């Protein structure tokens, strides 16, 4: 009987299979032309290999499940950020952990519509930021000019905040309005009516407009009345201006992008499994 021949893994697995099917050790050894002790060691080695494989399969299954869960959680964070509209970037600028998970998700599904929707959302977010900054600068300039003419009367902060509030309120309402289309004259009339409706709960009082202070209470009634007219005229100019139309248009497009983000993330959550691979995928290659 030959000695010193190294057992192969295939032999060991074959011996284990024969042994578990009921064959005796001597029978297996005779058929393999091996010593019974060699066959016994081979069977034990094959059994140990199978146990390790079973353990690894369980570990990999759990690791993949957690890996998918982590990426889906990152997708949920992305959707929540788009809904809250508190960020300009959806795909970058998170903590390192979330950034890596979003990169991994993109590797798994590089051509998914989700990423195009995120790009449209981010483009509109930057546009809205620029519009708000343009409006903020214009408001600040106008209020500063008014303050220089009437020192100790105009509360610059209250005026700026109130005008920006009016613009934000009307642009948000206009972005949801189905009556905002039509020719220029009809659109302007719709915008005037909408602005009036959105701000009808605001009123002038001794300190200012709504919850915004515009002037000190101790200033005379004639001065307050003049300031109210000035402020009312500015509110009307801002809330019916072309910049509000631009702002509302950007808001509408951003909301449409969010609706697609919402749908794509929901599809991912319902599928549970993701195609492809990424560098974070569990592996035994170490």
Residue 161 pLDDT more than 90?
Answer: yes
Strand stretches in the chain, DSSP E: 208-209, 212-213
Top pLDDT among 4 and 10 is at 10
Q: Where are the domains of the chain?
A: 1-61, 115-256
Lowest mean pLDDT among 46-60, 199-213, 266-280: 46-60
Reported confidence tier of residue 11, pLDDT bands at 50, 70, 90: confident
pLDDT digits (tens, 9 = 90+) for 115-140: 999 999 999 999 999 999 999 999 99
Question: What pLDDT was estimated at residue 180?
Answer: 58
Is the pTM of the predicted complex or chain greater than 0.95? no
What's the whole-number mean pLDDT along residues 169-198?
Answer: 80
What's the whole-number mean pLDDT along residues 147-160?
Answer: 81
Tell me the HSE value of 211 on the side-chain side, using a 13 A CA sphere.
Answer: 3
Question: What pLDDT was estimated at residue 284?
Answer: 62
pLDDT digits (tens, 9 = 90+) for 48-98: 888 888 888 888 889 999 999 999 999 999 999 999 988 899 999 999 999
Residue 286 pLDDT more than 70?
Answer: no
Residue 191 pLDDT more than 90?
Answer: no
Residues of the chain above pLDDT 70, percent: 95
| Sequence-ordered list of residues with C-beta below 8 angstroms from that of 11, at least 6 positions apart, any chain | 32, 42
Neighbours of 170 (CB within 10 A): 27
Tell me if residue 208 falls in helix, strand or coil.
strand
Lowest mean pLDDT among 31-45, 172-186, 203-217: 172-186
Residue 149 pLDDT more than 80?
Answer: no
Could you give the CA distance from residue 16 to residue 1 in angstroms, rounded to a whole number? 21
Listed residue (209, 207, 188) closest to 199, CA to CA: 209
């Amino acid at each position: 009987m030959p000695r010193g021949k190294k057992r192969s893994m295939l032999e060991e697995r074959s011996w284990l299979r024969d042994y578990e099917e009921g064959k005796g050790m001597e029978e297996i050894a005779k058929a393999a032309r091996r010593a019974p002790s060699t066959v016994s060691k081979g069977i034990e080695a094959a059994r140990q290999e199978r146990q390790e494989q079973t353990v690894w399969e369980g570990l990999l299954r759990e690791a993949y499940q957690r890996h998918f869960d982590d990426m889906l959680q990152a997708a949920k964070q992305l959707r929540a950020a788009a809904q809250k509209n508190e960020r300009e970037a959806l795909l970058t600028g998170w903590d390192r952990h979330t950034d890596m998970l979003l990169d991994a998700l993109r590797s798994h599904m590089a051509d998914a519509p989700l990423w195009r929707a995120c790009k449209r959302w981010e483009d509109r977010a930057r546009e809205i930021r620029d519009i708000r900054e343009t409006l903020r600068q214009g408001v600040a300039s106008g209020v500063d000019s008014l303050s220089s003419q009437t020192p100790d009367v105009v509360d610059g902060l209250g005026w700026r905040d109130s005008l920006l509030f009016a613009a934000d309120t009307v642009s948000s309402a206009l972005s949801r309005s189905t009556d905002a289309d039509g020719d220029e004259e009809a659109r302007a009339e719709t915008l005037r009516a909408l602005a009036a409706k959105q701000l009808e709960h605001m009123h002038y009082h001794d300190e200012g407009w709504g919850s915004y202070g515009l002037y000190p209470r101790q200033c005379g009634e004639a001065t307050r009345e003049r300031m109210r007219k000035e402020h009312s005229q500015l509110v009307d100019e801002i809330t019916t201006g072309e910049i509000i139309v631009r702002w509302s248009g950007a808001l509408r497009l951003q909301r449409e992008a969010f609706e697609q983000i919402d749908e794509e993330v929901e599809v991912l959550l319902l599928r549970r499994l993701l195609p492809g691979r990424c560098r974070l995928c569990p592996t035994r290659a170490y």
